[in-house]
Structure 1
Amino acid sequence: MKKTIYVLILSLVVISGFVFSFSSFANNSKAKTEIKKETKPVKRTLSSAEKKSMLEQRKKWEASPDGIKFNDWKNSPEGKKVQASYEKIKNEINAFDKMEAIVTSVTFQFPTTNPLSPKWLVVKINCEDYMMQFIPEDFEKFKNLNVNDKIIIKSRSAGFSNNHPYLILSSDYIEHNDKVLFERDLSKNDGC
């Protein structure tokens, strides 16, 4: 009888241990899930006053000499070509997917460039040229890249300017021969 009670108590302790461990594991997993949910950036919607203010600022800028010059460029064949190049890769940018690119220039500079100016990497993706800008220190990571090298790029955004011949891709991730050459640390600049 004592042996039976001892076995029952021991069984109860073991089962309680399993239940406690599982419960602790489930709560810990739930906590990790909640933490992950909390760390995702929250997109804030603009109030109608903020939207109105932004629209007024945009209209004011569009009426300025710079805004007129930009809109003229945007409607020109060169501007339309740059905008069309964005349409070709916008899904990959929105999904932050990998894009295969061919290096076309590691020495691109504007005519008035000084040595301390940002450096440009020019690449071809799906028969279109794109630019990526780097500070000189970061550009050192590409010193072994050559024209016609295949690289993998991931970019979070793109922009165009009447002062640049190609669409400008954000420089977020670059890989060559399965080796990461560059990955932007977003924690250093508030996610920008």
Structure 2
Amino acid sequence: MMTYRNALILPIALASGLLFTNCDSKNESVAKTPNRPLTAAESKAALKQWEASSDGIQFKNWEASPEGKKVHAGAVKINKFIRSNSNLEGVVTSLTLPEGSRLGFGVMVRIEGEEYILSMGPVSKAEMEQLKSLKVRDKIVIKSRGVSKAPKYAYAIVSGDYLERNSKVIYKRVPNKGGC
């Protein structure tokens, strides 16, 4: 009787082993696929595909609207400062972001005569205390890595990397791990 039981267990064990081996080889092949940047042709094709989607069409329509043109002009106006990693001088105009925004902590600022959303990344407890001490009409110095725009907002969005008030640093973005 013992051999009969072994004869039944052996095929089950073999099938299970093959199943697990097959799963492992699939996971290995996925893990070995290198993440490579898209070629110029692939990027162009992906952009064309997105532009043809409903989101792309909606974005293009917004960009062509008077509100979209205003936001774009504001982004272009400060882009030269951002590219050269220059200081941007701004004045806090509001301590709250527009209703419904989902940008994390941020304030409204006036830079070069235009209104912008100043959005900070992850904020430490000490930095949060400093940022909460900001008041309307405070003059601040900003360094940024980029400016973006979205149809949801009537203002360009400045990504804050560094913020100081009265020559004192009150926020400094922590660089991403991995160098990017």
Same fold (TM over 0.5): yes
Worse overlay, 86-95 or 128-137: 128-137
Match of 2:51 in 1: 62
Which residue does 2:114 correspond to in 1? 128
Query: Where does residue 147 of structure 2 map in the other structure?
Result: 158
Structure 1 portions without partners, runs of 5+: 1-45
Q: Which deviates more, 72-81 or 134-143?
A: 134-143
Provide TM-score, normalisation by structure 2.
0.71
Could you say what the CA RMSD is over the residues aligned between the two structures, in angstroms?
A: 2.3
Tell me, yes or no, if the aligned pair for 1:103 and 1:146 is still in contact at 8 Å: yes
Equivalent residue, structure 2, for 1:17: none
Residue in structure 1 matched with residue 99 of structure 2 by the alignment? 110
Partner of residue 147 from structure 1, selected from 119, 136, 141: 136
Where 2:96 maps in the other structure, the secondary structure is strand
Which runs of no fewer than 5 residues in structure 2 stay unpaired? 1-35
Q: CA deviation at 1:126?
A: 1.2
Does structure 1 residue 173 correspond to structure 2 residue 162? yes
Amino acid at match of 1:131: I
Q: Deviations over 1:141-182 (max 9, x none)?
A: 311101111000111211111112211111101000110011
- Count of matched residue positions in the alignment of Structure 1 and Structure 2: 142
Q: Distance in 2 between the 1:112 and 1:172 partners?
A: 20
Contact 1:109 1:119 in 2 (8 A): no
Q: Cα 1:90–1:111, aligned 2, differ >3 Å: closer, same or farther?
A: closer
